[in-house]
Amino acid sequence: MGKAKIAITLDKEYVEQIDRMVDERIFQNRSQAVQEAVSDKLRKVKQGRLATECAKLDPNFEKALADEGLSKDLATWPEY
């Protein structure tokens, strides 16, 4: 994945915390810290959206849809 350089503004408190983590070698530099924070947040947002959409599903309808036509197909499957 390519990278793009951007400028951001953060609260001084956050910058100080990031700098301490860089000094402690938790991150190589500020960019890595911000990159990982953004990546983590985006992953959580996606998971939240997936959970929200999954909650909308009707389990009975989904099972019926999955089982649709299965009884006909079972007769043609080889026995193991």
1 belongs to a structural domain? no
**Cβ neighbours of 5 (radius 10 Å):** 5
Q: pTM for this structure? A: 0.60
Residue 80 covered by a domain = no
Asked if residue 3 is part of any domain, the answer here is no
| pLDDT value, residue 59 | 83
pLDDT at 73: 64
- The model's pLDDT over 26-66, given as tens digits with 9 standing for 90+, comes to 999 999 999 999 999 999 988 888 778 877 888 888 787 77
- What's the domain range around 61? 12-74
6 domain-assigned: no
Say if 16 falls within a structural domain. yes
pLDDT of residue 15: 98
- The total number of structural domains that make up the chain: 1
pLDDT of residue 41: 93
Please report whether residue 64 resides in a domain: yes
Rounded CA gap, 72 and 54, in Å? 29
